[in-house]
Amino acid sequence: MSLLSIGTLAFDAIETPFGKTDKIVGGACTYISLAASYFVARSRVVSVVGGDFPKDRLNDLQSRGVDLDGLQIKEDEKSFFWSGKYHTDMNSRDTLVTELNVLESFDPIIPDSYKDDTSYLMLGNLAPVVQLQVLERLSVRPKLVVLDTMNFWMDIAMDDLKKVLKKVDVLTINDEEARQLSGEYSLVKAAEVIRQMGPKYLIIKKGEHGALLFHGEDMFFAPALPLAEVVDPTGAGDTFAGGFIGYLAKTDDVSFENMKRAIIYGSALASFTVERFGTEKLESLTPDEIEARVAEFIKLATFNMDFAAV
């Protein structure tokens, strides 16, 4: 099934208790499209980069089946740049720098061939107004629209964000952002408030504490795999989103039951991302490694109960 993702292709400078990087290639859409490439043979990207973005990294994406016909390259401008520093527990971070650069004037162009043939749409982290434009510029509404966003956009573009929320099926945000968006501390209450804003499905990511899926009266909890090595959590959320929508697109089944499986695949891929800085680990996985990790999740979370013996 056809999958289109939007989001940043960017430079990141990251500091964690385990080290520090200079500018490395990151960005929401980089992680999303790499994760999705393990599920769909061809996924499409609408985004923008400056002339400074390394061409060999674009070639890498293409060689993994990522279609970049919707990528604009502004030769005279600079790519989006983000810098962040993680706290000791690595579950929270401070944004040190956000330079929008090429994003400031981004006007997304959707290739004609995508307009009536996008079944799955991943609206990755970008200005809400751009996310809205992409939705409005498609001539046929996708079967499933997933939205990711972050506190940065809640702080500066809440009205636009509320407009996009009305039009999407699934929202993925972290626990802190769910509290900010809803004004509620309890995540159950936050989920209720947020789903009234539009999305029928809500996924709240809790970092090393797993993820929650809410839909109607139903709730599902997926653990995160306890890992011996967590080096850099950057991109975990985007990897999760790319794995989630990639699995749904591959299986073409948007039922709640299948979303549970998609969450486990997303979580499994994210567990690899955090083991190295940037995209290093995510780029070099084999299908067998992914299946083995999914099996670890199943083992971690399954148990039998013999009530008669109690």
Q: Is 8 in the site for ligand AMP (CB under 6 A)?
A: yes
* Residues 143 to 162 in contact with ligand AMP, rule: CB under 6 A: 150, 152
Ranges within 28-87 binding ligand AMP (CB under 6 A): 28, 82
Kindly tell me which of 2 and 203 has the beta carbon lying closer to ligand AMP: 203
Min separation Cβ 33 and ligand AMP, Å: 12
Q: Could you give the string, one character per residue 159-198, with x where binding to ligand AMP holds by CB under 6 A and - elsewhere?
A: ----------------------------------------
Judged by CB under 6 A, how many residues of this single chain contact ligand AMP? 17
Q: Tell me the window of 21-29, 65-73, 158-166, 288-296 that interacts with ligand AMP (CB under 6 A).
A: 21-29
Is residue 247 within 8 Å of 41, Cβ to Cβ? no
Q: Considering beta carbons, is residue 43 or 125 the nearer one to ligand AMP?
A: 125
Binding segment for ligand AMP among 20-28, 157-165, 183-191, 297-305 (CB under 6 A)? 20-28
Q: Which of 43, 47, 125, 267 binds ligand AMP (CB under 6 A)?
A: 125
CB 81 within 8 A of CB 9: no
CB 239 within 8 A of CB 271: no
Do 31 and 64 meet the contact criterion of CB atoms below 8 Å apart? Answer: no
Total residues found in the chain within this entry: 310
Q: CA-based diameter of the chain, in Å?
A: 72
DSSP annotation of 305: -
Q: Which residue reads 């299946």 in tokens?
A: 291
Give me 195's structure tokens. 């789903």
Min separation Cβ 169 and ligand AMP, Å:
20
Beta bridge partners of 44: 4, 67
Site for ligand AMP in 220-239 (CB under 6 A): 234-238
Produce one character per residue of 247-262: b if its CB has 16 or more CB atoms within 10 Å, e if not.
bbbbeeebeeeebebb
Q: Considering only residues 266-285, where is the footprint of ligand AMP by CB under 6 A?
A: none
Q: At closest approach, how far in Å is the CB of 235 from ligand AMP?
A: 5
Residues of this chain, 91-120, that bind ligand AMP according to CB under 6 A: 98
Residues 206 and 262: their CA atoms lie apart, in Å, by 16
- CB proximity list for 105: less than 8 A, separation 6 or greater: none
Task: Provide the CA 235 distance to its chain's centre, in angstroms.
Answer: 8
Q: Residue numbers of the site for ligand AMP (CB under 6 A)? A: 8, 10, 12, 26-28, 82, 98, 125-126, 150, 152, 234-238
